[in-house]
Amino acid sequence: MIPLHHLTQYMKIRQIWSQDDRENEFALSVDHPMADSIQYPFQGDALHEKRQATDDMTKFPIGWKEWVALPDLHIPAIKAKVDTGARTSALHASRIEAFTLPSGRWVRYVVHPLRNHPEIEITCESKLLDERDIKNSGGQVESRYVIETPIVLGGITWSTTLTLTSRDDMLFRMLLGRTTLNHRVIIHPEEKYLTGRAKLRRCYPALKARSAIP
């Protein structure tokens, strides 16, 4: 199987309509012979309805929480909370370790993308962009590593910066800050999942295998 980060440049969005129940399903696919094995499926038609009601068609609507994908990190779905009070987006990570390669400084870390499924564990490596002092939700300043990676939201892919921090005690494994969302979205704080709900058993086949165990 070809790694996702080798295929990112071929990404495009397609809309698939179910023949059986007319369910509108959004999937991120790649224009490549192995495209069928790399998909980030979401479902729902609320996004289309909200788009039609939006005056600024260069932006798309989102709710106060949404499912996003981080393809370069091999994370097909992670639930994120919109936090306009935060400048930079944050990703829950553990076992964070910086190391040096000839290409520069990198960071290795582990992500548990599903709060209720700690058995789903993804080890990631990213080039280190920066190290910043960030004030957390408790008002304390902590030093965090900063990375840059593509994010998929509402069927659109763009690059964003993320800080790595432990969010074990938090309800959401990811926060979407202002720099990620600026000039791209219109937030509807009374809504949720306007870009669709992730089909977790398709995103994480291990969940299906686990449920099959008697």
83-114 pLDDT, tens digit each: 998 999 999 999 999 999 999 999 999 999 99
CB 127 within 8 A of CB 105: yes
In whole angstroms, what is the distance from residue 119 CA to residue 142 CA? Answer: 28
**What's residue 1's pLDDT?**
42
* C-alpha closest to that of 86 among 193, 189, 179: 179
What residues are paired with 27 via a beta bridge?
14, 41
Higher pLDDT pick, 40 / 204: 204
For residue 20 the two structure tokens come to 């059986």
> Considering Cα of 47, then 53, then 54, then 57, what sign does the dihedral take?
positive
pLDDT tier, 37 (very low <50, low <70, confident <90, very high otherwise): very low
pTM over 0.75: no
pLDDT at 34 (0 to 100): 34
**pLDDT surpasses 80 at 194:** yes
Instruction: Determine phi and psi for 53, rounding to 5 degrees.
Output: -90, 0
The CATH class that applies to domain 56-200 reads mainly beta
Q: How far apart are CA 27 and CA 155, in angstroms?
A: 7
Helix (H, G, I), strand (E, B) or coil at 141: strand
Find out whether 23 and 170 touch, Cβ atoms under 8 Å: no
Question: What pLDDT does 32 receive?
Answer: 35
pLDDT at 88: 92
